[in-house]
C-alpha cells in the first residue's frame, strides 16, 4: 500500500455495483476501484451490513458468497480497513444527523459513513449516493454521476 491512510471509502452503492456485472454502474465503479487499487480502501461494518444484505437479495448465493469472501481477503491482506461503528462514531453520526436536519432522507448508515470519512480525512468516496455530495464533506465523490 502506498499509505497508511485510506484514500478511498466504499459505500454500499459501490459494493453492489462492483459485485453485480449487470448493474448499470458496474463499469464506472470498477474503473474508479481499479484507479485506486494501489491504495488503502476503507468501509464500515454498517456499510457492509447493508451491502451484504443487498448482495444476497440481488445475486445468486454462490456469486454473493464469493464476492463477500473477496472483501474478507482484502481485509486480511491489509488492502481494506473495515471501520467499526463504535459508540463515539455513533455519537458523531448523530451530530451529522442534527447538522443535516434539512436532509431527512439521509440514512443513518450514511451518517456513520460521513463520520468515518471525516475522522480519517478520507479524500475520496466511491458512491452513487448523492447525499455524500450534499453533506459538505471534504472529499471527492466518485464517479461523478451528477446528471447521469
Q: What is the pLDDT of residue 1?
A: 60
Quote the cell numbers at residue 3. Answer: 499509505
Quote the cell numbers at residue 55. Answer: 448482495
**Residue 147 domain flag:** no
**Residue 148 domain flag:** no
Quote the cell numbers at residue 146. Answer: 451528477
Closest CA to 124 of 21, 38, 11, 45: 11
**Residue 47 domain flag:** yes
Peptide bond into 143 cis (omega under 30): yes
**Residue 121 is part of a domain; what is its CATH number?**
3.40.50.1010
**Residue 114 domain flag:** yes
Which residues contact residue 136 at a Cβ distance below 8 angstroms, ignoring those fewer than 6 apart?
A: none
Residues spanned by the domain of 63:
8-142
How many domains does the chain contain in total?
Answer: 1
**Residue 31 domain flag:** yes
Tens-binned pLDDT, residue by residue, of the chain (148 aa): 656 899 999 999 999 999 999 999 999 999 999 999 999 999 999 999 999 999 999 999 999 999 999 999 999 999 999 999 999 999 999 999 999 999 999 999 999 999 999 999 999 999 999 889 889 999 999 997 654 4
Q: How far is CA 124 from CA 43, 51, 101, 127, 136, in A?
A: 12, 19, 24, 9, 13
**Residue 3 domain flag:** no
**Torsion of Cα atoms, 104 then 107 then 108 then 109, to 10°:** -160
**Residue 2 domain flag:** no
Amino acid at each position: 500500500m502506498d499509505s497508511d491512510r485510506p484514500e478511498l471509502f466504499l459505500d454500499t452503492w459501490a459494493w453492489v455495483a462492483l459485485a453485480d456485472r449487470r448493474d448499470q454502474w458496474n463499469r464506472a465503479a470498477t474503473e474508479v476501484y481499479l484507479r485506486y487499487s494501489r491504495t488503502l480502501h476503507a468501509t464500515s461494518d454498517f456499510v457492509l451490513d447493508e451491502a451484504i444484505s443487498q448482495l444476497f437479495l440481488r445475486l445468486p448465493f454462490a456469486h454473493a458468497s464469493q464476492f463477500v469472501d473477496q472483501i474478507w481477503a482484502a481485509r486480511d491482506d491489509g488492502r481494506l480497513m473495515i471501520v467499526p461503528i463504535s459508540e463515539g462514531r455513533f455519537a458523531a453520526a448523530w451530530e451529522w444527523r442534527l447538522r443535516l436536519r434539512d436532509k431527512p432522507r439521509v440514512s443513518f448508515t450514511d451518517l456513520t459513513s460521513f463520520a468515518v470519512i471525516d475522522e480519517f480525512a478520507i479524500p475520496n468516496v466511491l458512491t452513487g449516493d448523492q447525499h455524500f455530495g450534499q453533506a459538505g464533506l471534504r472529499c471527492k465523490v466518485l464517479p461523478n454521476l451528477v446528471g447521469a
